[in-house]
Amino acid sequence: MDIPKTLEDRLREGKVIPFVGAGVSMAVLDRQTDKRLFPGWRELLDRAAHRLEEETNGQHAAAVRALLNLPKPDYLEIARHAREGLSEPTWYEFLKDQFDCPRDRAKTESLKLAQAIWNLKSQLVITTNYDDVLQWALPPHVYPESW
C-alpha cells in the first residue's frame, strides 16, 4: 500500500488525529467462537427487531425487518424506528447488552488493529464507538481522558 509522503511525515510528527469507527471493533474476535465479538449494523438491527418482538411490539419489529430488506437500507433511519419502538430505558439496555462485553471475551491477538491506533502516538483519538475496544488495547501505564 502506497502511503503519501505528506501523511507519512504527519504521522512521524504526531500530527494525525485518528478517527476510529466500527471497523476497529469489527476486527475483535470472541475468544471462544472465533467470530466477531460485536455486531455490524445489519446484525444489530436484526437483534433489535427480535428485542421488539420480545417487548410485544411486533409492528415495529416488522417495520425494522422490512426496511432491512430494502436494496440499500438506511441503517441510521432503521435504528430510529427500532428506538421508537422500545422505551428509552429498554433501548439503552439493549445497546449495553450488545456493546458492553467483558475484556476476557476478546481474543487478544484480534486487538492488533486497536493497538496500532495507540502506536501512532497521537495526543488525541476520536471515536464514535460505544464499546471499550480502545481501552482494552491501551499500552501499559497509559490512562487517557475521555469525554
pLDDT score of 47 more than 80: yes
Is 143 part of a structural domain of the chain? no
Give yes or no: residues 63 and 81 share one domain.
Answer: yes
Give yes or no: residues 54 and 91 share one domain.
Answer: yes
pLDDT score of 122 more than 90: no
Query: 123 Cβ partners below 8 Å, 6+ apart?
Result: 14
Is 144 part of a structural domain of the chain? no
pLDDT score of 146 more than 90: no
State which residues form the domain around 125: 5-37+103-136
- The angle subtended at Cα 23 by Cα 4 and Cα 10, nearest 5°, is 25
Cell 437483534 identifies what position? 47
Specify the number of domains making up the chain.
2
pTM greater than 0.85 (yes/no): no
pLDDT score of 29 more than 90: yes
Give yes or no: residues 62 and 84 share one domain.
Answer: yes
Is 147 part of a structural domain of the chain? no
Model confidence over 69-113: pLDDT tens digits?
999 999 999 999 999 999 989 999 999 999 999 999 999 999 999
Looking at residue 140, what is its pLDDT?
85
Looking at residue 105, what is its pLDDT?
97
Is 146 part of a structural domain of the chain? no
Is 127 part of a structural domain of the chain? yes
Looking at residue 109, what is its pLDDT?
97
Give yes or no: residues 27 and 64 share one domain.
Answer: no
Looking at residue 144, what is its pLDDT?
81
Q: Read off the pLDDT band of 2 (50, 70, 90).
A: confident
Give yes or no: residues 86 and 115 share one domain.
Answer: no
Q: What is the mean pLDDT of residues 40-60?
A: 95
Give yes or no: residues 52 and 88 share one domain.
Answer: yes
Give yes or no: residues 94 and 108 share one domain.
Answer: no
Looking at residue 147, what is its pLDDT?
80
C-alpha cell at 13: 510528527
pLDDT score of 7 more than 80: yes
C-alpha cell at 114: 486497536
Is 83 part of a structural domain of the chain? yes
Cell 445489519 identifies what position? 42
Is 122 part of a structural domain of the chain? yes
Residue of 126, 128, 99, 93 lying closest to 28 (CA atoms)? 99
Give yes or no: residues 54 and 90 share one domain.
Answer: yes
106: Cα within 13 Å, side-chain hemisphere: 24
Give yes or no: residues 47 and 95 share one domain.
Answer: yes
Is 16 part of a structural domain of the chain? yes
Average pLDDT, the chain: 94
Give yes or no: residues 48 and 19 share one domain.
Answer: no
Looking at residue 68, what is its pLDDT?
98
